[in-house]
Structure 1
C-alpha cells in the first residue's frame, strides 16, 4: 500500500517496482483519506509526500496494525521527529538512488514479516505437538494400571456369565456388553504398547543412521 498526497511519488514508486521480477499488487491512498486500517488488507505500507500535520497520526494508525511501515522523506527535521516518536517505522531519506533503496528495504521487510509469521506458526505447531506428546506419555504410563483394572472387570464379568440361571437375560446381556467393551479397551492398550515398540525401533534406526553419517563425515575429513 502506498500512501501519498503526491501522485508523482506514487507513480515513481510503482514504476520502479515494475522493473522487478516480482511485482506486488498496489493500493494507492492519499493521506487525508486514511482514518482506519484493516491489517489484513495490506502487507506493507509505504508513506511519502504527506502533509506535515498528517504524518504523526497516520504513522501511529499504521503502526497499530503491526505491519511494516516505510516512511520516505527529504526533510532532516521531519526524519528526526519520526525517528524519535515512531521507532518501529523504517525511515528512508530521499537521496540519489532512493527508489532502489526503497525496493530493497521493502522487500527485506516483507521477508522478515513472512519469517516471523512462519516462526509463530511453527511455535504453535510445536506447542500442540508437546501437548499431544504429554498426553501420549501419560497414557503409556497409565496403561499398566488400566490393564489391571480391565483384568478385574473381565474376570468378574466372566465369572458372572459362567453361572447359569443366576442372572436374568437382561442382566446377562448387560454384563456381556461390559465384557466386550473391556476386551476392546484391552486391545487398544495393546496397540499402544505396539506403537511404543515401533517408535523406539524407529528412534534407534535413526540414531544408527546419524552415527554412521557422522563416522563417514569424520573419515572424509
Structure 2
C-alpha cells in the first residue's frame, strides 16, 4: 500500500495522495519467503531502506530470507571490523612516529565495539565475527532502534564515562569527588532508563513474537503456494 511522497521530515510533497492504482502492489514468487525484519517495512521518504535477500535453510527447508539494512548488520558493524580499524590506526600512528600508537589503536577498536554493542540492544543484531560467523546474531531486544529511552540511556552512559575518565586523569581534578561516588552520580539516569526499557521490552517482545510467528509459518506459505504463490 502507499501514500503521498514525503520529505525526510514526513511533510507531503508533489500534490498529495497518489492515484488509487498506485497504492498497492503484489509480487508472487514460487519459493517460501521469510520476512526476518519484525515489522512491516515502511518507505516514506525519497528512498526506502536497503533490503538484501538470501537463500538459506529454515526448519529443514530451503527458503529465502530478507536482511534489513545488510551493510548496517553485516561486516561494517562487527567486532572483526573493530580489530581491522585498530590495526589500521596503529600502523598509521606508527608511520608518523606517534608515541601512544597502541593506546590510540585500542581506543579506536573499543570505540567501534561499543557502537556494535549499542546496536545489539535492539532486535536485529549483527553478524559479530565474520568470516567465522555467517549470519546475524539476534540483539538483546531491549528496544527498537528508534526508542528515545534506550538511545538516551546509552548516549548518557557514554558521556558519563567520558566525563568520569577526564576527571580521573586531570590534575587537579575539576570535580573533587572520589571515583566510585562520581561514577554513581553520573550513571544513575542511564541505569533508571535501562531499567524502564527492560520492563517495557517484555511487552514489546510478545508483540514481535506474534509477528514473527506469522512471518515464519511455513505451513501457511505452502497453503498460499497451492492457490497461486506467495
TM-score (norm 1): 0.23
Q: Looking at CA atoms only, which structure, 1 or 2, has the larger radius of gyration?
A: 1
TM-score (norm 2): 0.23
**Greater RCO (CA < 8 Å, at least 6 residues apart):** 2
